[in-house]
């Protein structure tokens, strides 16, 4: 039993608009040069030594009573120490940045060579041949070592992605940082020059503090400038390191699969060997026809088969644990990256593209369900196995009990055979107990990981849904957008490419026959019985209001029969959509989702349209006036037709949200559709009141 969960093989996302970022970076570099023009002068000025500031602060701290001015000076000195520490950290960051830039070319060459080596085809047969001679314990040790390497590589990939996000969003962050720093520098210059209105004379400690802060701000601006200069170089290196780590993870995944396959094979071979020995004990072939011996051999055969099944189940659980753990690691990594992107790119069009890509990168995967039941069953089975093991350790007493229960005479040969069978059963139970313990441990870990995975991906999906709802997906509709609209529409029409492969279309029909044939038969039967359904509807309508023939079920029956008349159209839409889905086109998923929404739309509006027909349920069962029914019937038809474009683009936004980016035709159609719906709904409400007032019965 399974349940479906949206979960990841999540690949790192790349920001779109690299050219825009580089232009922005160049602009920011120019501005930083302008703002940091006095930087050299400030940096060349004499800054206080930390030891001097510390000694002055200690002298003030030793005094028992401080004047108000001395207290302010104490605060100034404390702040100066903090600024000097920050300045030292800034120098260390600058030195580290310089070292990274110097080492980047060599590292880039090394990573490129390693990536090229990873891309070389791998001889799986040779790798398998090298692993086959190893023992089961050696293979398991190598498997766990490879899993540790895989986890380490995934952590490295997460680090690279975070660093890459930081570099890619650096121009946006530098802009706000630079503005705040420039404003503060201007304030400090005004204070130091005494140009601030109503300013008191500065204390010496205050002057030192402001000069230190000025030097720190200039140093930070200089570091920002250098980091922007190194941005492209470091991005190239990080992207290459990320590509290498991704390829390395894929290689490790293949190694894990190969090792797991060989380990599974070895475990299964050992279990089958034990089972074979249990089924053919030595020196027992001559007396296997004895009823007691034959019965005990059957028990051993059942245990041996259960051991083989338990081994296969353990292997399956182990592989599922690996998959879920990888999904969980990637989900946590995606969550961290998404938070950074949302924080840095609030409200930007780039964020909308990232969110759409992130949402589309959540593939479908399967989780094992009913883990609580599985774990409980394993505990119960293990308890029974332990009970049997305890009984076997009684030795001769257990055999005597078997002989007594059989009520047959047992000779020495039978006793010897039973001893061998019991010894083999004890070994079978030991191995089965180990497998069940392994299954129990794997099941508990899998349950915990699946719970975490469900929580992480639920949170991730909620975050994506909320952010996609609020973030701008297109440029604002302003005068510039209107001027560019004709050319954008022409470009979008020219870029449309719909190709239907006749072979795939035919194959899709063949693949969908199991669904289409019963569906078409059901549609045919309903169409064939239309006259009978109409007759029943007319009879029910005639009975309404008649004292002896009317009943409470007349209206529900009429509604159900009307629904049956609507079903063929909805079923036909579903059939066409399923046919396209099975044809496996590039847009098959979209057509299938669209057909479901269109079928639901048909069901609602066609049902309402038939309810409002002359002499229909609305008139005969609910006493609606004919004029009002005719009015609502027209409005239902208009609203249903007007909603179809909105349904189309809503499904397109759900299945392929990136197609909505720069979708000028979609924007135009949606705006016109919403305007048309506004008019139709207003007219429907406004005119309904007039027609209701003119109807004698009030309807």
Q: How many CB atoms lie within 10 A of CB 491?
A: 12
Q: Which two tokens stand for residue 145?
A: 């070592």
Least Cα distance to 562 among 601, 534, 541 occurs for 534
Instruction: Please report which residue ranges of 123-168 form alpha helices under DSSP H.
Output: 124-131, 136-168
The predicted pLDDT at position 270 comes to 64
Provide the pLDDT for residue 144.
79
* pLDDT tens figures, 599-649: 999 999 999 988 888 888 888 788 788 888 888 888 889 899 999 999 998
The whole-number average pLDDT for the span 81-109 is 91
Span 507-535, pLDDT tens digits: 888 888 888 898 899 999 988 988 888 88
More confidently predicted of 69 and 22: 69
pLDDT value of residue 9:
37
Q: Tell whether the model's pLDDT for residue 499 goes beyond 80.
A: no
pLDDT score, position 696: 47
Binning pLDDT at 50, 70 and 90, where does residue 276 land?
low
Q: Which residue has the higher pLDDT, 212 or 262?
A: 212
Measured distance CA(650)–CA(667) in Å, rounded: 12
pLDDT per position as a tens digit, 455-487: 887 777 777 766 665 566 667 777 887 888 888
Tokens of 623: 């006493």
Confidence class for position 598, pLDDT limits 50, 70, 90: very high
Name the residue with higher pLDDT: 346 or 639.
Answer: 639
Highest mean pLDDT out of 4-18, 183-197, 651-665, 679-693? 183-197
Q: Which has the closest alpha carbon to 309: 413, 432, 209, 428?
A: 432
The verdict on pTM exceeding 0.85 is: no
- Rounded to 5 degrees, φ, ψ at 366 are -115, 130
For residue 3, give the 3-state DSSP assignment: strand
Dist. CA 512–CA 193, nearest whole Å? 83
Does 6 score more than 80 pLDDT? no
User: How far is the C-alpha of 535 from the C-alpha of 540, rounded, in Å?
Assistant: 9
Answer for the pair 399, 415: CB distance below 8 angstroms, yes or no: yes
Section 213-224 average pLDDT: 89
Whole-number pLDDT of residue 362: 55
Reported residue count of the chain is 699
Of 14-23, 429-438, 493-502, 658-667, minimum mean pLDDT range: 14-23
> Are the C-beta atoms of residues 594 and 644 closer than 8 Å to each other?
no
Residue 493 has pLDDT above 70, yes or no: yes
Weakest-pLDDT range from 227-236, 260-269, 340-349: 340-349
Helix H segments across 612-699? 617-620, 626-655, 664-694
pLDDT of the residue at 444: 92
Are 38 and 70 in contact by the 8 Å Cβ rule? The answer is no
d(CA 249, CA 524): 55
Short-list 642, 629, 622, 666, CA closest to 493: 666
Q: For 337-364, what is the mean pLDDT?
A: 61
Residues in Cβ contact with 246 at an 8 Å cutoff, skipping those fewer than 6 apart: 11, 12, 157
Other CB atoms closer than 10 Å to residue 444's CB: what's the count? 14
Residue 573 has a pLDDT of 92
Beta-bridge partners for 5:
365
Residue 103: name the closest of 225, 237, 228, 226 by CA. 237
Longest dimension (CA), the chain: 118
Instruction: Give the model's pLDDT for residue 357.
Output: 61
| pLDDT for residue 104 is more than 60 | yes
pLDDT score of 538 more than 80: yes
Q: What rounded mean pLDDT belongs to the chain?
A: 77
Question: In this predicted structure, what is the pLDDT of residue 272?
Answer: 57
Between 117 and 10, the higher pLDDT residue? 117
Per-residue pLDDT reduced to its tens digit, 150-199: 778 877 877 787 787 778 767 766 777 777 888 888 888 888 877 666 66
pLDDT (0 to 100) of residue 39: 34
Sign of CA dihedral 583, 587, 588, 594: negative
Which pLDDT score is estimated for 36? Answer: 37
Q: How confident is the model at residue 31 (pLDDT cuts 50, 70, 90)?
A: very low
pLDDT score recorded for residue 468 = 65
pLDDT tens-digit map of 17-26:
444 444 444 4
Which residue has 């709904």 as its token pair? Answer: 681
- Span 544-575, pLDDT tens digits: 767 777 777 878 888 888 888 889 999 999 99
Mean pLDDT of 390-412: 71
């Amino acid at each position: 039993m399974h349940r479906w969960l949206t979960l990841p093989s999540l690949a790192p996302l790349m920001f779109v608009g690299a050219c825009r970022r580089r232009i922005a970076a160049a602009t920011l570099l120019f501005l930083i040069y302008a703002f940091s023009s006095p930087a050299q002068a400030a940096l060349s000025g004499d800054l206080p030594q930390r030891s001097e500031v510390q000694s002055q602060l200690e002298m003030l701290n030793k005094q028992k009573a401080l004047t108000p001015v001395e207290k302010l000076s104490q605060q100034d000195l404390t702040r100066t120490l903090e600024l000097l520490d920050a300045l030292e950290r800034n120098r260390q960051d600058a030195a580290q940045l310089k070292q990274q830039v110097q080492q980047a070319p060599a590292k880039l060459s090394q990573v490129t060579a390693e990536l090229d080596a990873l891309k070389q085809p791998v001889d799986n047969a040779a790798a398998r041949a090298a692993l086959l001679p190893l023992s089961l314990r050696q293979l398991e040790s190598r498997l766990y070592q490879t899993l540790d390497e895989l986890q380490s590589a995934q952590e490295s990939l997460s680090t690279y992605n975070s660093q890459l996000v930081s570099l890619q969003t650096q121009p946006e962050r530098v802009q706000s940082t630079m503005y705040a720093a420039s404003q503060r520098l201007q304030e400090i210059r005004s204070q130091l020059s005494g140009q601030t209105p109503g300013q008191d004379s500065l204390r010496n400690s205050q002057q030192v503090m402001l000069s230190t802060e000025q030097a720190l701000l200039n140093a930070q601006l200089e570091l920002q400038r250098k980091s922007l200069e190194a941005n492209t170089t470091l991005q190239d290196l990080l992207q290459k390191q990320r590509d290498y780590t991704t390829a390395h993870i894929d290689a490790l995944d293949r190694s894990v699969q190969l090792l797991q396959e060989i380990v599974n094979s070895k475990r299964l071979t050992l279990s089958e060997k034990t089972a074979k020995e249990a089924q053919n004990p030595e020196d027992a072939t001559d007396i296997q026809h004895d009823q007691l011996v034959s019965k005990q051999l059957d028990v051993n055969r059942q245990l041996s088969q259960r051991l083989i099944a338990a081994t296969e189940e353990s292997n399956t659980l182990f592989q599922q644990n690996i998959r879920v753990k990888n999904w969980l690691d990637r989900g946590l990594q995606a969550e961290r990256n998404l938070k950074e992107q949302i924080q840095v790119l609030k409200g930007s069009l780039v964020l909308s593209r990232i969110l759409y890509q992130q949402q589309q990168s959540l593939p479908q995967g399967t989780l094992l369900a009913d883990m609580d039941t599985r774990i409980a069953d394993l505990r119960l089975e293990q308890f029974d196995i332990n009970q049997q093991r305890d009984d076997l350790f009684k030795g001769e007493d257990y055999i005597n009990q078997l002989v007594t229960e059989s009520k047959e005479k047992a000779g020495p040969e039978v006793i010897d055979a039973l001893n061998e069978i019991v010894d083999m059963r004890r070994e079978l139970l030991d191995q089965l107990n180990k497998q069940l313990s392994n299954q129990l441990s794997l099941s508990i870990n899998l349950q915990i990981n699946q719970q975490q995975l469900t929580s992480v991906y639920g949170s991730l999906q909620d975050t994506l849904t909320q952010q996609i709802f609020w973030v701008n997906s297109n440029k604002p509709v302003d005068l510039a957008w209107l001027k560019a609209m004709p050319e954008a529409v022409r470009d979008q029409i020219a870029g449309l490419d719909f190709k239907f492969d006749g072979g795939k279309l035919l194959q899709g029909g063949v693949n969908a026959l199991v669904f289409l044939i019963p569906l078409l038969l059901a549609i045919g039967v309903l169409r064939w019985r239309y006259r009978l359904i109409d007759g029943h509807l007319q009879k029910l309508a005639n009975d309404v209001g008649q004292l002896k023939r009317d009943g409470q079920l007349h209206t529900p029956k009429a509604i159900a029969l009307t629904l049956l008349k609507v079903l063929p159209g909805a079923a036909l839409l579903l059939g066409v959509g399923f046919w396209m889905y099975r044809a496996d086109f590039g847009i098959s998923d979209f057509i299938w989702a669209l057909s479901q929404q269109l079928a639901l739309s048909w069901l609602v509006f066609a049902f309402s349209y038939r309810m409002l027909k002359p002499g229909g349920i609305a008139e005969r069962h609910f006493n609606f006036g004919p004029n009002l029914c005719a009015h609502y019937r027209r409005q239902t038809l208009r609203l249903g037709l007007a909603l179809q474009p909105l349904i189309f683009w809503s499904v397109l936004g759900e299945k392929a949200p990136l197609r909505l980016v720069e979708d000028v035709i979609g924007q135009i159609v949606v705006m016109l559709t919403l305007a048309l719906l506004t008019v139709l709904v207003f007219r429907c409400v406004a005119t309904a009141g007039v027609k209701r007032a003119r109807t004698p019965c009030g309807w």
